[in-house]
Amino acid sequence: MGRPPGVLAVQGDFEKHLDAFAALGRADALEVRSQEDLEKVGSLVIPGGESTTVGLLLERFGLGEAIQERAKSGMPIWGTCMGMILLAKDIEGLDQFRLGLLDITVRRNAFGAQVHSFEDEVKFKGMATPVTGVFIRAPIVVRTGKGVEELADYEGKIVAVRQGNRLGTSFHPELTGDNRIHEWFLGFEN
């Protein structure tokens, strides 16, 4: 086993990701809050949370730049919900901080004000049975660039993508107890 997986733990829903990795035998997964922490991990999950807040913090402490560098040298990275927003190249209509590591445009809070939160089955490419998509003020992908593969859609809206060893999901697999996507992510080449 190589370096442990990391979960960005600046703000938001990071603990459940650590639990999911522990359930898969990676109880050594680390919380990442600094550039020093980042050096210790072999992959990184950016969890759900508030993208404007976390974006500001990433920018202020130089951690955003360090994540970009590690990703460019091959570190697998996965964003769930807010994490996918922060990974996007473009955020529709907004110029808030983003890492720009997935060639996609996202629309924040895309399921509208009335539907803050819901869950439903989502067919996920490569998975034998659907996953449960927990959507919490979730974004969708409204543009995919070259080299971006769609992994899942929900009612015609793209809700999961992959570009090389970078992954984005609109929903929260860490809240379901079904750790298949975490397991898959652990196998990404580093």
CB of 163 to ligand GLN, least distance (A): 20
190: contact with ligand GLN by CB under 6 A = no
Stretch that binds ligand GLN, among 63-71, 78-86, 145-153, 182-190 (CB under 6 A): 78-86
DSSP, collapsed to helix, strand or coil, labels residue 185 as: helix
Give which of 2, 118, 12 is closest to 55, Cα–Cα.
Answer: 12
90-109 binders of ligand GLN (CB under 6 A): 108-109
Amino acid at 184: W
> How many whole angstroms separate alpha carbon 31 and alpha carbon 146?
32
Cα 31 from Cα 135, distance rounded (Å): 23
Give me the least distance between CB of 91 and ligand GLN, in Å please. Answer: 9
Contact letters (x/-) for ligand GLN, 44-63, by CB under 6 A?
----xxxx------------
Closest contact distance (angstroms) between CB of 2 and ligand GLN is 28
Binding to ligand GLN, residues 136-165 (CB under 6 A): 136-137
Tell me whether residue 10 or residue 81 sits nearer to ligand GLN (CB atom): 81
Q: Which residues contact 172 (CB under 8 A, 6 or more apart)?
A: 13, 16, 48, 80, 81, 134, 135, 136
Q: Does 18 engage in binding with ligand GLN (CB under 6 A)?
A: no
d(CA 179, CA 190) in angstroms, rounded, equals: 20
Give me the helices (H) in 34-177, please.
Answer: 35-40, 51-60, 63-72, 82-87
Active-site option among 36, 39, 81, 92:
81
Residues 162-181 that bind ligand GLN (CB under 6 A): none
Return all residues near 156 (Cβ < 8 A) that are at least 6 apart: none
Binding interface with ligand GLN (CB under 6 A): 48-51, 81-82, 85, 108-109, 136-137
Residues recognised as catalytic: 81, 172, 174
